[in-house]
Amino acid sequence: MTQKSKAMGPIPPAYAAEEGMLLIGGRGAAALADEAGDTPLFAYDAAMLDARVASLAAVLPDRCDIHYAMKANPFAPLLRHMAGLVDGFDIASVGELDRALAAGVDPAHISFAGPGKRDAELAVALEQGVTIHLESEGEARRLLALAGRTGRTPRVAVRVNPDFDLKGSGMRMGGGAKPFGVDADRAADLARAMIDAGADWRGWHIFAGSQSLDGAAIIAMQAQTVALAARLSDAVGAAPPLVNLGGGFGVPYFPGDTALDIAPIGTALGEAIGAAIAGEGAILADSRFALELGRWLVAEAGVYLTRVIDVKQSHGETFAVVDGGLHHQLAASGNFGTVVRRNYPVAIANRFGQPAADQPVSVVGCLCTPLDRLADQVLLPPVKEGDLVAIFMAGAYGASASPASFLGHEPAVQMLVTGDGDYILD
Ligand SMILES: *Cc1c(COP(=O)(O)O)cnc(C)c1O
């Protein structure tokens, strides 16, 4: 009986094999699992991070910086590596602030966004001198009260809830009623009030969406964002030192997804800024700009490796049961912000590139819940006990975005594989 198989997302083209063994950072996946001491593990390829940032820097206008939104992956060795590559870190909690500082990031290059910042968090941010992205008038009031008590000058940007959103974006963060930022029609008043109160106003933060693979939509969103920043700045009557344009660059996870072509996006951004400054947006003439990206910078560089414990049959279907699962890699199970479950790119790491068996196999995790399905009826080379399954696009929203304590299994090991084939565990 032949069963119908389901497609999977595209394996990132940069991955290769040597004698059938998947290489990550030039090292064989099985050797990395041995070094880690146990499976499952996340292996991150530092050279891929380098290449990713360099490719973006090459196409962005000179006046546009690259920020890393560290919630995508806060693994300490990866943060230390990213700190040497990008111009700024975007954080969303004091826990992330601690990690960014420990990674050696200069507080002057850290910006702190996110709703619900507590007074204690605002106080730490104020003391460290990071830029606080104000999410509401109430937050601004609490910050000014703290600043008054401590005599410190707060560095602030105003996060704007734009009246548009990123078309085709996986997660909409702007347009209409939102818990993020201050509505565009009140943003200038808040910035003016902060300047009048003696704050160091750093500019605007306008984030309109995430995970878009539609280059034209990103280009349109960036042009709208530049225009909005110019309009708001005119209303304030002050030039913003920095306009954080948000991000939204998506990565291919699923069947039919194709990678963004970033060159036209970079070119269009340069043109949009140039046109704004030459026209209605002259107030931005000396401003810098920034893109804040999480997944686009790190997703592809990570692979989740998990070992096959059991291969079993049920009603004519084959299941490979692995020692990992949704407690480490929730997104691959389809339970992290997706409506319809689709397959991430997966492979048998120790038979990489080899012909697929006729029968599809489902890769299921070791958690006792039907939600724990890492790949549904995919075509892979014949699977055996002891094989290593590789789940790609695991560098973002993996270990730190999964319910690690659900069902009491051990957390996954994480390692950064550096350029010389060496690795760092923490
Ligand atoms: C989560 C987040 C990001 C990063 O999103 P990605 O889709 O991973 O690039 C950037 N900026 C803000 C404000 C965020 O909340």
Per DSSP, the residues of 240-273 read: -SEEE----B----STT-----HHHHHHHHHHHH
Q: Is 39 within 8 Å of 306 (Cβ atoms)?
A: yes
Q: Dihedrals φ, ψ of 404, to 5°?
A: -60, -30
Measured in angstroms, how far is the CA atom of residue 296 from the centroid of ligand 1?
10
Radius of gyration of the chain (CA): 23
Closest ligand 1 atom to residue 159 Cα is: 13
Query: Is 204 a pocket residue for ligand 1 (Cβ < 6 Å)?
Result: no
Tens-place pLDDT, residues 157-216: 999 999 998 976 665 555 689 999 999 999 999 999 999 999 999 999 999 999 999 999
Domain spans in the chain, listed from the N-terminal domain onward: 17-45+299-425, 74-293
Per DSSP, the residues of 302-362 read: EEEEEEEEEEEEETTEEEEEES--TTT-GGGGT-SS-SS--BPPEEEGGGTTPPPPSS-EE
Measured in angstroms, how far is the CA atom of residue 174 from the centroid of ligand 1?
12
Query: Is 68 a pocket residue for ligand 1 (Cβ < 6 Å)?
Result: no
Measured in angstroms, how far is the CA atom of residue 164 from the centroid of ligand 1?
17
What is each CA distance from 286 to 43, 63, 231, 240, in whole angstroms? 41, 9, 15, 8
What residue type is 94 in one-letter code?
Answer: V
Query: Is 292 a pocket residue for ligand 1 (Cβ < 6 Å)?
Result: yes
Measured in angstroms, how far is the CA atom of residue 71 from the centroid of ligand 1?
8
Q: Select 74-293's CATH number: 3.10.400.10, 3.20.20.10, 3.30.420.40, 3.20.20.70.
A: 3.20.20.10
Tens-place pLDDT, residues 303-354: 999 999 999 999 999 999 999 999 999 999 999 988 889 999 999 999 999 9
Closest CA to 266 of 106, 15, 64: 64
Query: Is 376 a pocket residue for ligand 1 (Cβ < 6 Å)?
Result: no
Q: Is 134 within 8 Å of 143 (Cβ atoms)?
A: yes
The rounded mean pLDDT for the chain is 96
pTM of the shown model: 0.96
Q: 17-45+299-425 in CATH: which number?
A: 2.40.37.10
Mention every residue, 6+ apart, whose C-beta is less than 8 A from residue 116: 135
CA nearest ligand 1 atom 2, residue: 69
Query: Would you say residue 20 has pLDDT above 90?
Result: yes
Q: Is 290 within 8 Å of 237 (Cβ atoms)?
A: no
Helix (H, G, I), strand (E, B) or coil at 143: helix
Tens-place pLDDT, residues 252-265: 999 999 999 999 99
Mention every residue, 6+ apart, whose C-beta is less than 8 A from residue 348: 354, 380, 381, 383, 387, 388, 389, 390
Query: Is 209 a pocket residue for ligand 1 (Cβ < 6 Å)?
Result: no
Measured in angstroms, how far is the CA atom of residue 182 from the centroid of ligand 1?
17
Measured in angstroms, how far is the CA atom of residue 266 from the centroid of ligand 1?
19
